[in-house]
Structure 1
């Protein structure tokens, strides 16, 4: 995958990758590559893991470490997408969209001089992964496997059970003051407003203590840029990536994973359209495939990590 071209970056300018996006690199025991210490070492097979709206790279931490233990020759790049986590402090210029979030990841990979063999995106991150494929130079330099976890390429259908309405959640979070005194108060307010306890517990992981003169205070603040995230979610609803799925670049294989209990996200026409794309891709040298993760709702890596691990594992075998 050609990560950068002259339109994206001036190669004469030295760029610190951490100035593009906050990231962690989880490496297997057999990986010796280092961006800082030895740029001449052979590049190990690399996978990129992308979180969803209001998430962070930490969502993938436990799962990535498990993958690295099982597949010691691989390394796993976890990023905070723009406006999320530690990347929120980088103040990326707008517009805050699926495409701009994908371009950030491509820029980071270009500076790190990494060519991923696997890209895994959950929910919003799934469309970001598809946008990455759409934006890179074609044909791709080597086969790339793209996993889109519990997201469709087109219409977004969120919230049938009262617990999962991202637009309403983002709107409600905007009513809180900039400084917050207690995670418990936020959780209770979320639950009282109709969000589930699980969602409330997940949301408050985005609260951190405010530092004053180098010392932690009792006040908390959100680590994300909520206005930017609101724009990103609107873009997620509006962005249509069917063109990538129905005209898969040669050398790319796109895998969709549907959570068994996440029925409201998947219309019958979406599933049928993906199956048609499966047949077309075989004829054109690409690949599209549909999978179902049993006993899981939308939060696939939390609801059934063992099942998800089994399904994803074959992407890392043979190295």
Structure 2
């Protein structure tokens, strides 16, 4: 049991965190929507926070109420020793229940996409349409983040408190400046706004996957054309679990496809959700 400050829409109060995880979120009321317009739940990826899908939120918020959420062990959400997809899915279901949202369009990037897919196993009736951005429902055996973990731990071990110094140290390990700038957004007053020790310890669960029951509703997989995360060899895995799945490839983009080609991603999302 622990105590955490919970930030909800127009609220800020102390909550006792016991068996039910209360996630930090922001609820953005739709600028123009009909009663039939469903809300959109946006879920970030590993090392991220609720601001990471902001480019999608700003556009979708014109017609939809948007809920941006910090997953457990990320952002301002509580910390926990467990980092599994069933646990993350239960957190999301608890949030939907608290907000009295009976049905939503759920969009997740990377780890957030897996959390969204896991939600179909425990609350299939609450999801109208599902969008998974550059991720597949498979067990990834390649450890793609070990250098990142090394760089993050080096900053922690050095006792650095300034972002500029942290970024400089990370450049001795990481070559991609875009990745460094993404990570440094979560560095505040000498600490990371994600639970680094747990993410390292639970990494096998994060890249792993347990199949979910077939979810027979519209599902869109958006893939970065230069990204290795959604491969042709995963077609059977996707079809088995999401038989109504379709794919959209954004040419010339990598894993952070929504940041690199936001217009293309939004066009695909709008075409998909406007079919309903």
TM-score (norm 1): 0.73
| Residue 35 (structure 2) pairs with residue 56 (structure 1) | no
- Per the TM alignment, residue 31 of structure 1 is displaced from its structure 2 partner at its CA by 5.3
Counterpart selection for 2:188 from 204, 208, 224: 208
Unaligned stretches of 5+ residues in structure 1: 1-14, 33-41, 160-164, 210-219, 282-286
Is residue 223–residue 248 contact of structure 2 (8 Å, CA) maintained in 1?
A: yes
* Cα distance change, pair 199–157 in 1 and its aligned pair in 2 (3 A): farther
Contact 1:158 1:166 in 2 (8 A): no
Q: Which structure has the larger Rg?
A: 1
**Aligned equivalent of 2:117:** 130
**Shift of residue 99, structure 1, vs aligned partner:** 1.5
Q: 1:253 aligns with which of 218, 223, 232?
A: 218
Does the residue aligned with 1:58 lie in a helix, a strand or coil? coil
C-alpha contact (below 8 Å) 1:49/1:79 kept by paired residues: yes
Residue 151 of structure 2 aligns with which residue? 172
Please name the residue that 2:71 is paired with.
81
Q: Does 1:148 align with 2:112?
A: no
User: What 5-or-longer segments of structure 2 have no aligned partner?
Assistant: 1-14
CA contact (8 A) 1:46 1:115 kept: no
Deviations 1:212-234 (A, max 9, x none): xxxxxxxx322211122224432
Q: What's 1:216 paired with? A: none
Structure 2 residue aligned with 1:12: none
CA contact (8 A) 1:26 1:65 kept: no
Residue 45 of structure 1, CA deviation: 1.3
- Kindly state the Cα deviation for residue 16 of structure 1 after the two structures are TM-superposed: 9.2
CA distance in 2, matches of 1:231, 1:43: 43
Which has a greater percent of helix? 1
Cα distance, 1:28–1:232 mapped onto 2, change above 3 Å = farther
The alignment partner of 1:77 has SS state of strand
Pick from 93, 104, 113 the counterpart of residue 106 of structure 1.
Answer: 93
Match of 1:312 in 2: 269
Count of aligned residue pairs for this structure pair: 259
Alpha-carbon separation, structure 2, partners of 1:256 and 1:172: 31
In the TM superposition, residue 206 of structure 1 has moved relative to its aligned partner by 0.3
Three-state SS of the structure 2 residue aligned to 1:65 is: helix
Structure 2 residue 105 is the aligned partner of structure 1 residue 118: yes
CA contact (8 A) 1:294 1:307 kept: no
Does the aligned pair in 2 maintain the 1:96–1:231 contact within 8 Å? no
Q: RMSD across aligned C-alpha pairs, in angstroms?
A: 2.8
Contact residue 223 and residue 257 of structure 2 kept, 8 A: no
Aligned mates of 1:16, 1:115 — CA distance in 2: 25
How far apart, CA to CA, are the structure 2 residues paired with 1:296 and 1:97?
28
| CA distance in 2 between partners of 1:289 and 1:306 (Å) | 19
Shift of the alpha carbon at 1:112?
0.9
Q: TM-score, normalised by structure 2?
A: 0.83
Distance 1:259 1:158 in 2: 18
